[in-house]
Structure 1
Amino acid sequence: MAVHVQNEQKYWDALKEVMDPEFPISVVDMGLIYGIKEDSGTVKVTMTFTAVGCACTEWIKGDIEKRLLDEPEIRSVDIHVVWDPPWTVDRLTEEGKQKMKNWGVSSR
């Protein structure tokens, strides 16, 4: 059990390398990733997007899959997109809020 938790943190860290194409901020810091579970070589990612009509959905999903498949023990990635709870700026991490503020995008 502890191995799964350790690996899951590894995958969270890996996804900090996947950037939102519109802002120089990771999908993790954007708050797009709701959960990560690993089971027998498959990583299951639960995520959302900032808007239903986001033009970058396939690009972001492809980048997430590619990055996780770089991990030697991972054979497949299952991405499940959810819209509830909806994304809001409150999902930004503190690091994400600071980056957005530095770019003049957020006043928080």
Structure 2
Amino acid sequence: MVTEEDVLTVLKEVSDPEIGLNVVDLGLVYGIDIEEDGKVFVRLTLTAPGCPLHETISRAAEMAIETLDGVKEAHVEVVWDPPWTPDLISDEGRRLLGL
């Protein structure tokens, strides 16, 4: 069965093109639910509510998750609560951004 760590690993391949950092290290992933039937549900946010790349990032995340063995479907829900802040960027993300 696929694990949360597996999902996070493939989500590190999905970047916010405006910032150039993956959604995991940006702190955009708010939750992962994995069902026994192979469905994966991810809640993520974006850096700004009006982000024009909303659908592009969501679909890229779903496609990345669906490459995992055992995943039959992936669904990404974009949420806005709590609002994203730069405080959510991981230590690795800060390093990569030179912060």
Higher percent of residues as helix: 1
1:1-108 alignment runs, 5 A limit: 7-39=3-35, 40-101=37-98, 108=99
What is the CA distance between 1:68 and its match in structure 2? 0.6
Task: Give TM-score, length-normalised by structure 1.
Answer: 0.84
Identity %, equivalent residues: 39
- Max radius of gyration: which structure? 1
- Kindly report structure 1 stretches of 4+ aligned residues shifted beyond 6 Å: none
How many aligned residue pairs are there?
Answer: 98
* Bigger fraction of residues in strand: 2
SS in structure 2 opposite 1:34? strand
* TM-score where L is the length of structure 2: 0.91
Q: Which has the higher contact order (CA 8 A, sep 6+)?
A: 2
- Report the Cα offset of residue 89 of structure 1: 0.1
Structure 1 unaligned segments of length 5 or more: list them: 102-107
Over the aligned positions, Cα root-mean-square deviation in angstroms equals: 1.3
